[in-house]
Structure 1
Amino acid sequence: MASDKCCDPPYGDVFLKQSLDANEKTQLLNAKWESVHHYGIPSKYVGGKFRKIQFRWFVDNTWLHYSTSKQGVYCAPCFLFSGKDENSKQKSLAAVPLVDPSNIGKTIQAHAVSNLHRESCEAAHNFISVMTGDKKDIVCSLSSAHEQTVEKNRKILVDIVDSLILCGRQNIAIRRHQDDRSNFAAIHQLQAKDNTVLRDHLEHDNPRTKYTSPEIQNELISICGEIISKTIVEACNAAPFFGFIADEATDAATMEQMAIVLRYYDCAPSRVCEDFLCYANCSATTGEALANAFLQNLETAGVNLQKMRGQGYDGAANMAGQYRGVQACIRQIFPKALYTHCKAHSLNLAIVHASKEPLARNMMGTVQEIAFLFDYSAKRLFQFQASLAENDHERVEMEKRKKLQTLCETRWAARADALYTFKTAYGTVVKSLERLSENNDTKAGAYRAAITQFSFIITLVAIEHVLSGSVQLSKLLQSTTCDLVQAATEAEVVKTQVEK
């Protein structure tokens, strides 16, 4: 062996170590023995001749390495990645070095084209790529695949949530008796036309993991509600003070609930906000029970009750009672929370009481019955529309309305529009009832006689004039941005108009 150490193999002797770390493996695979021609490889006496490992074998096959301790050659990729099974038929050059120089050339050629060698070289190439950063290792690859799956599922979930939000904003039903024909499913099918990820999910994914079942829909709606409520509460708590508004709301199942609304000043957009927070289920309707339910719901939502400076309800005894009403119970705990009777409700009550006068009550009852008469009969409605088509002036004044409007049962100020429509189409109504009575419609004849009386006509004109003046005031009192000065000014205008 040559004594010049600079000509030694540029890698360690792997057979002198029990294991190699990643850096040593990288060095072994990348090393090239440039000075192999100057290294004195010892000869061996085999078959009556001295035989020696040829230098050109290392030059032609860069994967071929030399072990000084074993005085033999081996394949570096196979040694590292073939599993080193010494019982394998291909153990030479892989698990153990080849020390017999005889026929070594043919052995190297056969090894170079073997499946074991090709697979080991591919594994070695992948290892080098990972170490140099050109490829990710298996852990990173699995993590990357997981991230892609998560990102895909998130995009699908976003589309599903968007569909639910759209149904909510448009106030349309999410489900029908058949889920595949629901609005929710129809929106999904429309989205899937231009969304290959969503289309593949809906068509091929496991039905159990589609996230479209009614249970998942309800859960997503609840999560959206919690996020919205949290945002409202955070904005409310950031304000210096807030007001609390509540009113009764009966659902389709005739279950009584109390709607809870927060009124506060949002500094970010510089505006007054009135946001619905939640419904409070009430086991009893006494002032104490309602007050406890309100405070419990507000506290559960995270509202800072110490900032409460106002409370607004209607004038019912259990809400506005001086001693045992909701407002009194809350003021015992939060004295600064002043009670204000809803002024829009007060205006509505004033109109209701004023309309109890017999002439006004009879006129409105007649108008309502005639509106129902034309609304619930196709024959009578056709006659009304035919008569309206003959009167160009009234048709223009009706502003594209094709029939009479019924009176609102709760908001009496809103009746002004229905009374205006009836007054504008008065001539058409009389002519329609007259023609119907000529065709033996007894109800039409009776109603025609009622609305042609002077008392009915003067009451219709007077009440419509009074209510039309209160419409703007009613809208202003319900506006979020209304303040005391605006309300008082508009109220004076309406008062002056009524007095005149």
Structure 2
Amino acid sequence: MEPKLTGQILAQTVKNFTNTNNLDSKLCVGIDTDTCNLMLGEQKGAVRELQKCLANVLKSPCTNHALNLSISKSYSVQAVRNTVGIMKEVIAFSKASAKRNTVLKRKLDGYQFRSMCKTRWTERLDSVLQFASKFEKIVEALNIISNWKYREASSKAESLKTAITSTQFIVSQKCLCDILALTVNLSKILQTKTIDKQYAVKLMGNIISFVQETRANSEKHYSHVPWVLN
């Protein structure tokens, strides 16, 4: 039979575990979980089912998971979505041919592209930052390939070079670097065992304030981005 996982099944699994190990359910005061519907659904979520028999249990949604979901909403911005898509295309283009990969590795001093995580935006930091740090070298490598006699590779390289040197791509890439650089540290802190709630709230407030200030003074903040204002 096809295996099914529901909130009721998860709740029953927890109940069976506590009973088997003779754990006092009255001492259970909180459940820390992600915010998916399976866990926190109002009708048949696992937490809701457990609260029926564990009177003292309070739900405590994972703030790090909430952070990841909040960052993921940036994917609804078309410019960001296009930028990430172009990065993936460049990475796929470089890995599709040993000859292209050799040119890019030589230009990038042996650097190998990292694949971008599909689900966790906070884990994309390394890929995005490394792409940005090697940006000019990537443009040079694509320019070399665009002059090859092999038409398919040269045409694709030219189109990718045009895409990554557009103003929209450069600004969106800079925004991604800024946001991910901020949130990755917050994500790590939120996963520590000894974090204080008030301290976490203060950190999140500082990040929100910084983003608001950046938006209000965007011209000053991004004036140093190459090729945008020239």
TM-score, scaled to structure 2 = 0.84
Q: 1:431 aligns with which of 121, 140, 163?
A: 140
Could you list the per-position Cα deviations for residues 74-115 of structure 1 after superposition, in whole angstroms to 9, with x for gaps in the alignment? xxxxxxxxxxxxxxxxxxxxxxxxxxxxxxxxxxxxxxxxxx
Code of the residue aligned with 1:412 in structure 2: it is W
- The structure with the larger Rg is 1
Residues 333, 455 of structure 1: alpha-carbon distance in 2 compared, 3 angstrom cutoff: same
Whose helix proportion is higher, 1 or 2? 2
**Which whole-Å CA distance do the structure 2 matches of 1:298 and 1:372 have between them?**
48
Partner residue in 2 for 1:413? 122
Does structure 1 residue 496 correspond to structure 2 residue 209?
yes
Partner residue in 1 for 2:225? none
Partner residue in 1 for 2:38? 318
Code of the residue aligned with 1:451 in structure 2: it is I
Deviation at 1:406, TM superposition (A): 1.9
Contact conserved, 1:469 with 1:497, CA < 8 A, in 2? Answer: no
SS of residue matched to 2:117:
coil
**Which whole-Å CA distance do the structure 1 matches of 2:55 and 2:120 have between them?**
32
Which structure has more relative contact order (CA 8 Å, sep 6+)? It is 2
Contact conserved, 1:469 with 1:494, CA < 8 A, in 2? Answer: yes
Partner residue in 2 for 1:475? 188
Partner residue in 2 for 1:335? 55
Deviation at 1:449, TM superposition (A): 1.2
Deviation at 1:361, TM superposition (A): 0.4
Q: 2:28 aligns with which of 297, 300, 308?
A: 308
**Which whole-Å CA distance do the structure 2 matches of 1:314 and 1:365 have between them?**
27
Whose strand proportion is higher, 1 or 2? 1
Contact conserved, 1:344 with 1:477, CA < 8 A, in 2? Answer: yes
Partner residue in 2 for 1:130? none
Deviation at 1:418, TM superposition (A): 1.1
Deviation at 1:323, TM superposition (A): 3.4
SS of residue matched to 1:312:
strand
**Which whole-Å CA distance do the structure 2 matches of 1:419 and 1:318 have between them?**
31
Deviation at 1:376, TM superposition (A): 4.2
**Which whole-Å CA distance do the structure 1 matches of 2:101 and 2:199 have between them?**
43
Q: How does 1:55-454 map to 2 (within 5 A)?
A: 284-389=4-109, 402-439=111-148, 440=150, 441=153, 442-454=155-167
**Which whole-Å CA distance do the structure 1 matches of 2:121 and 2:43 have between them?**
30
Could you list the per-position Cα deviations for residues 317-372 of structure 1 after superposition, in whole angstroms to 9, with x for gaps in the alignment? 23102232111111111121100111111011111112221000010111122122
Alignment RMSD, CA only? 1.8
Equivalent residues, number: 208
Query: Which deviates more, 286-295 or 452-461?
Result: 286-295
Partner residue in 1 for 2:169? 456
SS of residue matched to 2:76:
coil
Code of the residue aligned with 1:470 in structure 2: it is T
Give ranges in structure 2 of 5+ residues lacking alignment.
Answer: 214-230
Contact conserved, 2:26 with 2:56, CA < 8 A, in 1? Answer: no
